[in-house]
Structure 1
Amino acid sequence: MTNTDPTIESLLEQRALYEQWLAKLDAAANKAPPTVRMKVRGDYEARLHGVIEQLRGHGATITEELERHQASQAALDGERRGAEEQLSEAEVRHAVGEYTEEEWQNMSRENQGRLDGLREQLRSVGNEIARLAEVQTLIGAPSRRSEPPPAPPPVAERPAPPPPPEPEPEPEQRYEPPPAPRPAPKPPAPPRAREPEPASPPGDELAFLKSVSDEDHMPASRRPSNPGASSPGHGSRAVEAAPPPIAPQSKTGAPGVAKTLKCGECGTLNRPTEWYCERCGAELAGV
């Protein structure tokens, strides 16, 4: 880096040296106690910080050097392209026969040597530009000198194992009695058989038929429409001719007998075996 300012070059070499020492210190970490390593590290970091601060004082010079190298890189790149074009042109002239084989060989060696030198210069200038750009970025960063260096770690002592976690209390289990079984539904009661109605005694039926026969032989004019409204003389005859009172039959009557006897008072049909209307209670024999 002969084209860079000697002061800047020296500072850059010191920076590279301190960074190299810090890297080797990390590699040899197991060869010294922690306190010694921290002491040496602090010394190298302090020196590196001082070099960086000096480079910050040359910030303007570094910027100028960077711009100069960039301009030199552009000029060298232009020369390289010109030399490549001259070599290509000489090759074409040799191909058409303008240059002899000997002339072509001499021109090719000259142009190729020139190209190799230009490429080497471009490589060197490119490396210098990269290093100056890195330094410019480094000195442009804010200083961290005000931060205190980290305290050395205490002597490593094996920490006590943490106490085992306390078991979590199990949740209380509430005992719930099983639900009482539901009573089974009662089966429906079977339909009650209908009891047959008691048959009328044969004496009652004969008396009733006899009374009906006697009434049929009586003249129509003499048959009272209502036994209760007849005269006393007729009432005594009716009492004498009537058969002995018989207890009224049940409303259901004998099974299978049709209701054909109509009540003269309310018009309800009754069975012919009935003496009184099952609805209004009027006597059916005088109807």
Structure 2
Amino acid sequence: MNKAKTNALDALRALIAERQQYEQWISTLESKRDSTPAHVLEKVNADYESRLDRVVGEISGYAEELQLSITTLSSRLIEVAREEDTKRDTLQEAELRAAVGEYEPARWEELRLEGQREIDRIGGDRERLDNELAELRSIQTLSAVGSRPPVGNVASGAQRVDGKADREDPQVVGAIPDARASSADGESDEGDERVVDGDGNRNVTAAESEKAGIDAVAPERAPVAAAAPPVTASAASAAASEAASAEPPSRTRPSRTPPKGISSGKAARPADARADQSKTLKCPECGTPNHPTEWYCERCGGELATM
């Protein structure tokens, strides 16, 4: 490292130390708040803050030069490390040649001493560059640290943090019940499909529950409806009569009993009289021809008098 860079680093170190001193003074002012008038404390704090801002500005002026020095040292350190590896490989090669008999012991000793001196020299350079690079990076880290906030800002920030614990955002607080209400509504909607009446015959919707006066929030359940009274025989008979009267009249078939005073045609009529007559009367139910004097179909027994 040349003299100019050394002087720049020394100046940068001095600025960093000065900045740390101002930061310490500003931090100590907070402990004197209770015993010092506010306007005096603010005046001293403003003076230290002004000095600190000036030092931070001067340190920032070295940022570009500092980064360039770090980049240069990093590249140089890589080259030195490669050179050291090459010297070690050369020394191991000479040792191998001496082991197989190519080099005399005296020649090998000479090569070994020379190679070891080069390795030691390069190793010293590498260690020095490594230390310088670590120092520059440490200075860069220190110079990148910003200044502390003023005492007044620190106090007000603490008050804001403390006050935040005493009060909550009304919007956030209001959002919690709304979310819970939405969740409850969703559960109520799903429950409407599963609610049934006491007989288990149909589902009861939310609208029907409201009409029936069911309070979903109340812990008490609605009383179970009383069992219906037993149906008596007279009531059952009356219900059957009403059901029969409500049903449409069914078609009744006419009685097959012949009218009074009329006996069976087969017994009353002689065989010769029926033989003279042809079967011209067809049964309306099965279509079988019958004698016109017959009352009933001789095949199916259906009534022929209606014809």
Shared fold (TM-score greater than 0.5)?
A: no
Q: TM-score, normalised by structure 1?
A: 0.42
Structure number with the higher helix fraction is 2
Higher-Rg structure is 1
Q: TM-score, normalised by structure 2?
A: 0.40
